[in-house]
Chains A and B, each alone.
Chain A
Amino acid sequence: MLKYNFKYELKLLLRSRWIQLLSLTLLLLFAFSAYNGKQKVEKRISVINDALLEEEESDVMMLALIDSVNQGLDVSVPRWTVPTSPTAIGNYYPRVASMEVQPLALIATGQSDLFTPYVKPRISGDDFALNFTEMTSPVQLLFGSFDLAFVIVFLLPLLIIAFSYNVLSAEKESGSLRLLASQPIGIQRWLLQKLALRFMWLSLLVVASLTIVFLLLGIEFLSEAGAFFSLLGLTLAYMLFWFALAFLINLWVGTSAKNAVSLLGLWVIFVLLVPSVLNQLGNSLYPIPSRTLMINEMRTKKTEVSKKQDEILDNYLRDHPEYAINDTTETRSFWHRYMASQKLVREELAPVVNTYESQLQRQQDLTKNMQWLSPALTIQESLNSLAGTSSADYDHYRKQVVAFAENWRDHLLPYLYNNQEITMDDIVELPAFQFQKRPVSMTATILPIILLSAGVFILGLIVARNLYKGQKLIHS
């Protein structure tokens, strides 16, 4: 019987206009979305490269200036930007802290339209006010991006539904079920075979389309075989889940129209409702404190601090006696007072700033625990992670930048308080930002989804056994 089913499905595949249309649609959707993704990624890469290039050029300039000063020459830049001063280096020659673009970044835009791919922390800046957001039209953020993840998570299930909602009911409605019943095969088994064959064909189609699109767009995916296979694994597991649902609904519900309504209802629940309800839940359970009130607090602290800058500097120097010993001139300028005050503000605001981090972390944990309520959500998050554009990735990057900003400051402050000038030798030792990728594993997502699908299949079998027991319509 498998052989007949196989033959029938193959013939259907070759003859049906709908299926040819499906293949074409799939190819076009993948191509359009991958092309969009590629454009965005290329822009990101070029922005980072430009920044690095600019840094290199400005470093050459910096060395030339230091050299001129050392030789006692006049320099043509404003005196507060002459790079022999540590604060000039810290503010006017910052390092680029960029987020490395992952090889498969094109598959999901994730949060990359919301955040910049690099920042340049300066010593005078506030770490908590470091602006990571990108300059994007909010309308674009609202509508989102037509990326591969959208096609896979939102559209692929609909294609599956369109081609599987009436496998059994169509036979019933056209009367050929009775003919089928005369064949020596159980109805569940027959349906399972049909759906398995359709799953196989659609999988082939998806894999082939993705490969073709990637080849056409010249995306290096062979060298990143691991990531590419993860993408395929995620997609196929997700498809399997929807086929399992189709199997269950085909057996459980009745007419074609009812099947379609039920499957589409499930789609709405998994793809639209569960994510937005979970989002609301996260915001209600762990609300992010008001940024407006944070600004108030920051301003109040700064006002307090600015009124007693001298006192703060004295306290600071008392805590750091090494500076008093090393420095014979004991000159104290604006920067000495400013940096000491900034440190105090930072320390005092730390608890407030930490609440943002911790609330966000709690929301993220909630999402992580509840994401199994909707495989669509799971897959979206995994695709984002695979692309290196998920919230967790940006969170990870932000933490690295804040740590680097501290490093940058800590490296330059001793020069400031020792009133020591920066020399050519010191430049080599300036800290540089090194991006660490967040480790991710896709098997942790793929396996549970497959298990979930298996569960749905088994449920389908149980349902069928109960439903058809009494009828004895079909015996195997």
Chain B
Amino acid sequence: MILKTFHKETKELLRDGRVRLSFIIVILLLGIAVWISAKQYQSINEQHAFATQTDRTLWDNQGEKNPHSAAHFGTYAFKPKYPLSLVDQGVDKYAGTSIFLEAHNRNEAQFSAAADQTGLSRFGDLTPDFILLFIIPLLIILLGYNSFTKEKEMGTLTLLKSQGISSTRWMIGKWLALFLPIFLITAILLLIAGILLSSLDDFGVFNWSSLLGMFLVYIVYYMVFINLVLFISSRVKKSGISLVLSLSLWIVACLAAPKAASNVAESKYPYPTRQEFAAMVSEDKKQGLDGHNPWSEESKLLEEQVLKEYNVDSLHKLPFNFDGYRMQKGEEHEARVYFKHYNYLKDQFEQQSGIYRVLAVISPYLPTRFMSMSIAHTDYASHWDFSDAAENYRIATQKFLNDNFAENSEYGNWGYKADSEFWQELPEFEYAPPELSTIIDKNKSNLLILGGWLFGTFGLLLFNTKKL
């Protein structure tokens, strides 16, 4: 019975002109999207490699210079693009790509792609994730909305009932007929992406298990949609109504809920504006030591402390340059200030994430989106991770430079210049994104919600078939 239903449904789908047309459209779109994204991925990676190297060359060839001037000259951390961003671009477009690492300041990542684009970009890009998240669920609706209603409309339901069919098996047949084409499309797409990525020269952190994880997430997402669409189709009498209802569900889940969640999240746990944030930071900075200002109270205090510690009566007698030492202490104070305020931002975002999780109850789209971005290293948490790594590197660099200044010159000698070879001794900035297992660990709640959706909708469907 399962097989027969499956055969019949598949044949019917294959015969329907609209279904064929939409299949062709989806595959065409996917092809274009993958092709464009692959090209982008490659060119961005080339630029990234080139820029990182050029910037390092500039740094290495500074010549003789005061270490603190070099600290102000600074370095850049460029955010790499990860292989699976080919499949899901996530928030990459909205997060900056380069962080300027200089003395005294923690800078935000600059130059997000969205800021350089027209308002059109807010509608969305033609990328694989757009198709995977929005268009394929639509395809499911198109394929399945009349799965049961057509039997009612054509009167075949009575015939079938008179045959004494098992409604569960009948349902499974229909379910499989709907699932198979979706499964195939997704599998083929991700397989092509995998082959494409592993054939690229520097596929870096790409591994097949991440891709498989992503595949599973999407498959679960589609199963949820299939269950919902079949449920609606089995409960209403007319195909038109079934279609309109399924579509409303899609709109709520994929468009309305995320937007509403973003509004609620912002009004409940707002981010400070850029200026407010800067004002808070500078207020806190003023409360402590400013490495550039030897006349301030905190400086005098530090002087006393250090003199006492080394048991000398003048800064000139210290075994190091106190200017450099003060610079470093000031830097440490500033780093603490930034740590505090950035943690506040992170807290706000954590709270916002809570809202997204709550609204995931009406939208399977939300946990899927977050999981997929996370696996692709294109979510906000990955961005934080990168930016924190860059900040740690900045702090280490400042120490490296200030120590050189303190150790190799005497107090009051601002004219000190480090050797031209010295700059090469600074270790390079290296960053590796979190492993898949860490990501899964961090996204437990999203997995749980998605699992809840899967079992909930299966339950709904099975419970319902008994009443067919």
Give A contacts to B, CB under 8 Å.
32, 36, 39-40, 43, 47, 51, 78, 110-111, 114-116, 118, 120, 129, 131-146, 150, 154-155, 158, 161-162, 165-166, 255-261, 264-265, 268, 272-273, 275-280, 282-284, 288, 290-293, 295-296, 299-300, 303, 307, 356, 360, 363-364, 367, 377, 380-381, 384, 390-391
Q: Give A43 to B270 CA distance when docked, in angstroms.
A: 10
Cβ–Cβ contact B119 & A276, under 8 A: no
Cβ–Cβ contact A136 & B271, under 8 A: yes
Question: Is B255 part of the binding interface, using a Cβ–Cβ cutoff of 8 Å?
Answer: yes
* 17 extra A-B contacts, CB within 8 A, seeds A146-B256, A307-B63: A39-B267, A111-B119, A135-B273, A135-B277, A143-B258, A166-B240, A256-B240, A260-B243, A272-B123, A276-B126, A276-B130, A279-B123, A291-B98, A293-B51, A296-B55, A303-B58, A380-B119
**Of A118, A144, A260, A295, the contact of B122 (CB 8 Å cutoff):** A144
Cβ–Cβ contact B58 & A284, under 8 A: no
The minimal Cβ–Cβ distance linking A147 to chain B, given in whole angstroms, is: 8
Residues of A within 8 A of B271 (CB): 135-137
Residues of B within 8 A of A283 (CB): 117, 121, 125
Cβ–Cβ contact B47 & A292, under 8 A: yes
Q: CB within 8 Å of A: which of B379-429?
A: 379-380, 383
Question: Is B94 part of the binding interface, using a Cβ–Cβ cutoff of 8 Å?
Answer: yes
Q: Give A132 to B145 CA distance when docked, in angstroms.
A: 46
Determine the residue in chain A with the shortest Cβ distance to B267.
Answer: A39
**Of A51, A146, A260, the contact of B244 (CB 8 Å cutoff):** A260
Cβ–Cβ contact B116 & A360, under 8 A: yes
Question: Is B272 part of the binding interface, using a Cβ–Cβ cutoff of 8 Å?
Answer: yes
The minimal Cβ–Cβ distance linking B52 to chain A, given in whole angstroms, is: 9
Question: Is B266 part of the binding interface, using a Cβ–Cβ cutoff of 8 Å?
Answer: yes
The minimal Cβ–Cβ distance linking B263 to chain A, given in whole angstroms, is: 5
Determine the residue in chain A with the shortest Cβ distance to B261.
Answer: A143
Q: CB within 8 Å of A: which of B131-190?
A: 134-135, 138, 142, 145-146, 149
**Of A155, A300, A380, the contact of B251 (CB 8 Å cutoff):** A155
* Per-position binary interface string of chain B over residues 65-80, scored 1 when its CB falls under 8 Å from any chain A CB and 0 otherwise: 0000000010010100
Contact-size category for B: 35 or more
22 pairs of residues in contact across A and B, judged by CB atoms under 8 Å:
A40-B266, A131-B110, A134-B273, A139-B349, A139-B352, A139-B380, A146-B260, A150-B259, A155-B256, A158-B251, A161-B244, A162-B248, A260-B244, A265-B22, A268-B138, A275-B123, A279-B126, A283-B121, A291-B116, A303-B62, A360-B118, A391-B119
* Per-position binary interface string of chain B over residues 353-366, scored 1 when its CB falls under 8 Å from any chain A CB and 0 otherwise: 00010000000000
The minimal Cβ–Cβ distance linking A168 to chain B, given in whole angstroms, is: 12
Cβ–Cβ contact B94 & A138, under 8 A: yes
Cβ–Cβ contact B36 & A280, under 8 A: yes
Residues of A within 8 A of B356 (CB): 139
Cβ–Cβ contact A140 & B265, under 8 A: yes
Question: Is B120 part of the binding interface, using a Cβ–Cβ cutoff of 8 Å?
Answer: yes
Determine the residue in chain B with the shortest Cβ distance to A271.
Answer: B123
Q: Give A78 to B73 CA distance when docked, in angstroms.
A: 23
* Per-position binary interface string of chain B over residues 99-129, scored 1 when its CB falls under 8 Å from any chain A CB and 0 otherwise: 0000000001011111111111111111000
Cβ–Cβ contact A377 & B115, under 8 A: no
Known: A259-B240, A290-B47. A272 touches B352 (CB 8 A): no
Known: A276-B123, A292-B78. A143 touches B380 (CB 8 A): no
Q: Give A364 to B112 CA distance when docked, in angstroms.
A: 18
Give B contacts to A, CB under 8 Å.
18, 22, 29, 32, 36, 44, 47-48, 50-51, 54-55, 58, 62-63, 73, 76, 78, 90-91, 93-98, 108, 110-126, 130, 134-135, 138, 142, 145-146, 149, 238-240, 243-244, 247-248, 251, 255-256, 258-263, 265-267, 270-277, 293, 345, 348-349, 352, 356, 379-380, 383
Q: Give A95 to B123 CA distance when docked, in angstroms.
A: 35
Cβ–Cβ contact A275 & B124, under 8 A: yes
Known: A140-B265, A140-B266, A282-B120. A131 touches B274 (CB 8 A): yes
Known: A39-B267, A154-B255, A257-B239. A110 touches B119 (CB 8 A): yes
Q: Give A78 to B290 CA distance when docked, in angstroms.
A: 11
Cβ–Cβ contact A138 & B91, under 8 A: yes
Cβ–Cβ contact A292 & B98, under 8 A: yes
Q: Give A283 to B33 CA distance when docked, in angstroms.
A: 13
Q: Give A239 to B63 CA distance when docked, in angstroms.
A: 67
Q: Give A265 to B123 CA distance when docked, in angstroms.
A: 17
Determine the residue in chain A with the shortest Cβ distance to B345.
Answer: A135
Cβ–Cβ contact A377 & B258, under 8 A: no
The minimal Cβ–Cβ distance linking B178 to chain A, given in whole angstroms, is: 16
Q: Give A120 to B278 CA distance when docked, in angstroms.
A: 12
- The interface residues of chain A, by DSSP majority, are classed as helix
Residues of B within 8 A of A259 (CB): 240
The minimal Cβ–Cβ distance linking A440 to chain B, given in whole angstroms, is: 14
Residues of A within 8 A of B142 (CB): 261
Determine the residue in chain B with the shortest Cβ distance to A258.
Answer: B18
Determine the residue in chain A with the shortest Cβ distance to B36.
Answer: A280
Q: Give A377 to B110 CA distance when docked, in angstroms.
A: 29
Determine the residue in chain A with the shortest Cβ distance to B65.
Answer: A306
Determine the residue in chain B with the shortest Cβ distance to A364.
Answer: B118
Known: A142-B90, A146-B262, A264-B247. A115 touches B126 (CB 8 A): no
Cβ–Cβ contact A363 & B240, under 8 A: no
Cβ–Cβ contact B126 & A144, under 8 A: no
Determine the residue in chain B with the shortest Cβ distance to A256.
Answer: B240
The 4 A-B pairs of least Cβ separation, nearest first, read A275-B123, A257-B239, A138-B94, A138-B91
Residues of B within 8 A of A144 (CB): 122, 258-259, 262
Determine the residue in chain A with the shortest Cβ distance to B100.
Answer: A295
The minimal Cβ–Cβ distance linking B14 to chain A, given in whole angstroms, is: 17
Cβ–Cβ contact B247 & A288, under 8 A: no
Cβ–Cβ contact A292 & B261, under 8 A: no
Q: Give A307 to B58 CA distance when docked, in angstroms.
A: 13
Cβ–Cβ contact B55 & A145, under 8 A: no
Cβ–Cβ contact A300 & B94, under 8 A: no
Residues of A within 8 A of B275 (CB): 47, 51, 116, 118, 120
Cβ–Cβ contact B115 & A115, under 8 A: yes
Determine the residue in chain A with the shortest Cβ distance to B21.
Answer: A265
Q: Give A154 to B116 CA distance when docked, in angstroms.
A: 25
The minimal Cβ–Cβ distance linking A146 to chain B, given in whole angstroms, is: 4
Q: Give A155 to B54 CA distance when docked, in angstroms.
A: 49
Cβ–Cβ contact B243 & A284, under 8 A: no
**Of B95, B120, B149, the contact of A138 (CB 8 Å cutoff):** B95
The minimal Cβ–Cβ distance linking A413 to chain B, given in whole angstroms, is: 23
Give the most central of A40, A142, A288, A360: most B CB within 10 Å: A142
Residues of B within 8 A of A134 (CB): 273-274
Residues of A within 8 A of B108 (CB): 131, 135
Cβ–Cβ contact B243 & A363, under 8 A: no
Determine the residue in chain A with the shortest Cβ distance to B74.
Answer: A299
Residues of A within 8 A of B63 (CB): 307
